[in-house]
Chain A
């Protein structure tokens, strides 16, 4: 008897587990079938709505909402309305995983989110497991591509493409030595390493210093000291705008006269405010197209401003494009089934995005990078060189 009870318990446990999993599968599958036939098509967007990157998250959400509304006004997709499900990831990997799980259980059939690469990474396997295709509008670390997941598509240039653009500009601009500073996050480190690799391969520009700082501090005097010591022609900062602003401010206070270039994570009006005064004037940036730098986007900007009461910002256009692309893929696939939508995305050729006609590479990245150089002029980022 003594033996039987545990065995019975064990069998009960196994039975319970089997029941639970099948029941779960049943619920999830059933739910999926149901949403696949009727009701709105749920589009998940795991983006930063709070935290340090919240301003960009808001621009992305607005861009997505705009596309959703336009598509719905034209009758939706496959005769059904689109519904945007924006979940907050706060640029934090833990919260991002929770947000992705929530989006999946809400019945999402496609994902159009992804801004902070470090936070986007853990969401990839979650969406992959649920066979949900992801169109990532902003996050662009090489790490995302290196996962080689079939459901992941990037419609923003990758870190490697950004580095290539940076190097191209440095050579063109006659820079002789450069200091590379990152903030130790996946996104930032990726660009710094790729740039270093490209510079060494190119041989024209010397890497005078390559170092990292800890994000979230106020005092960057030690890195400023290192940069002053290395005395480069140009500093390339690959982190986000908060630290970027502080470093620019403290560098200028220390008497730095060389050039400063920042990566796309720092392209934000706050960078100029934090740097203070005229310190940010003349700061260069590698950036994908923003609404301000795209020719022919004037009417789009007007629509956006009218709808949301403020001008669009970084990644509004990419987010808008991500939703349009999602709708296009679902229409082409004739179904919301993940596998069919992925096949449709892979087959897309010449779909017009803001950054030009789209065709994915075998790695599911853009075949043309679309990075350009901006410069701060009169307190605003304006186009300096389209690098085309």
Chain B
């Protein structure tokens, strides 16, 4: 039981990190960024390239090396996210929503098969593997790498939350989410804020990618697809557009999966997850923490 809860929370923290980017982008420009899951994959591959170019890293330095790479990957995937927004989304910002959705799918395929063409279609084994002893906590086995990754994920999420709540950029983001035209009239540089949103969201997804690579050890060019859908589900459960909702949704989805597959069997895990998505979209489309938007006259 405690093992199930821990498994769920651990997987859920990955979903939450990726879901944050989905939710932020949707909250601000009402776009479902389908390329977001592939940024996660890109993060894993950039981390892989950086670590292999360094050569053999002694085991004692692996955590330090990984944290440095994590930071560098966050900057690179952030920049790539910004570039995607500039090339694929900004020219279409005033087009119908469907057009942007379709470019998002196009951007997703471009990233997937671009990586497949450059790095090859075979799965790669991550050069640095997080390993460590395991502890017994209330009957659940918890390993040191899991704790490290959870802590990194929580720090990133808390950092983002205080950034959005406390800084002027965060205030501008919230303002645009509420009323883009009004914010423009109040003198907010909307383009700059959207650029930042993409940067932060993509950086978090990239971080999740590196963490997944280091923990699971295997990366491949399609790894972003499923997690992208799961993160979207997490964002919907929590209330899409809501940052706290994305975190809550991620953790909840992890738990739901852990208990769902325990109850129905592993092969039903995805069926169960996406059935929950459908249920939420039909019964409570605003999610757990989302508020019903009232039209003001």
Contacts and interface: CB of A to CB of B under 8 A. Distances in A.
Nearest to A226: B266
B129 interface: yes
Nearest to B254: A219
A266 to B, nearest CB: 13
A277 B123 CA distance: 18
B121 A52 contact: yes
B266 A245 contact: no
A377 to B, nearest CB: 20
Nearest to B225: A216
A253 B143 contact: yes
B54 to A, nearest CB: 19
Contacts of B216: 218-219, 246, 249
Contact of B265 (A211, A221, A255): A211
Interface string B17-55: 000000000000000000000000000000000000000
A273 interface: yes
A54 B220 CA distance: 13
B121 A222 contact: no
A211 B262 CA distance: 11
A276 interface: yes
A55 B265 CA distance: 31
Interface stretch (B3-11, B75-83, B189-197): B3-11
A277 B131 contact: yes
B122 A222 contact: no
B170 interface: no
B265 A212 contact: yes
Given A51-B121, A222-B257, A226-B262, A245 B218 contact: yes
A55 B122 CA distance: 8
**Which of under 10, 10 to 19, 20 to 34, or 35 or more describes the interface residues of B?**
20 to 34
Given A219-B11, A225-B7, A254 B258 contact: no
Chain B CB count within 10 A is highest, among A221, A242, A276, for: A221
Interface in A206-231: 211-214, 216-223, 225-226
Contact of B212 (A90, A218, A242): A218
A333 interface: no
A339 interface: no
Contacts of B123: 52, 242, 270, 274
Interface in B86-145: 116, 120-123, 125, 129, 131, 134, 141, 143
B7 to A, nearest CB: 4
Interface string B225-242: 010000000000000000
Interface in B252-271: 257-258, 261-262, 265-267, 269-270
Nearest to B122: A54
A185 to B, nearest CB: 12
Given A52-B123, A253-B134, A274-B217, A221 B141 contact: no
A272 to B, nearest CB: 10
A218 B261 CA distance: 15
Interface string A126-139: 00000000000000
B36 to A, nearest CB: 17
B277 interface: no
Contacts of B4: 225
Chain A CB count within 10 A is highest, among B123, B220, B226, for: B123
Nearest to B14: A219
Interface string B250-294: 000000011001100111011000000000000000000000000
A222 B269 contact: yes
B217 A212 contact: no
A17 interface: no
Contacts of A216: 222, 226
A211 B266 contact: yes
Given A211-B267, A222-B7, A225-B3, A277 B258 contact: no
A184 interface: yes
Chain B CB count within 10 A is highest, among A184, A217, A222, A274, for: A222
A50 interface: yes
Given A217-B226, A222-B261, A52 B220 contact: yes
B63 to A, nearest CB: 16
Contacts of B217: 245-246, 249, 274, 276
A246 B218 contact: yes
Nearest to B125: A273
B141 A222 contact: no
A226 B262 CA distance: 7
Nearest to A51: B121
B204 interface: no
B223 interface: yes
Nearest to B131: A277
B218 A222 contact: no
B78 to A, nearest CB: 23
A370 B266 CA distance: 33
A48 B133 CA distance: 39
A222 B216 CA distance: 15
Contacts of B262: 222, 225-226
Contacts of A270: 122-123, 125
A92 to B, nearest CB: 11
A219 B149 CA distance: 14
Interface string A2-23: 0000000000000000000000
Given A52-B122, A216-B226, A276-B129, A221 B218 contact: no
Interface of A: 50-52, 54-55, 90, 184, 211-214, 216-223, 225-226, 242, 245-246, 249, 253-255, 270, 273-274, 276-277
18 contacts: A54-B121, A212-B265, A212-B267, A214-B266, A214-B269, A219-B11, A219-B216, A220-B266, A221-B10, A221-B258, A222-B262, A225-B7, A226-B266, A242-B220, A246-B216, A253-B134, A270-B122, A277-B129
Q: List the 6 closest A-B pairs by CB distance, nearest first.
A: A222-B261, A212-B267, A221-B7, A218-B216, A273-B125, A223-B266
Given A213-B267, A218-B212, A218-B223, 7 more contacts: A214-B267, A223-B266, A225-B262, A242-B123, A249-B216, A255-B141, A273-B125
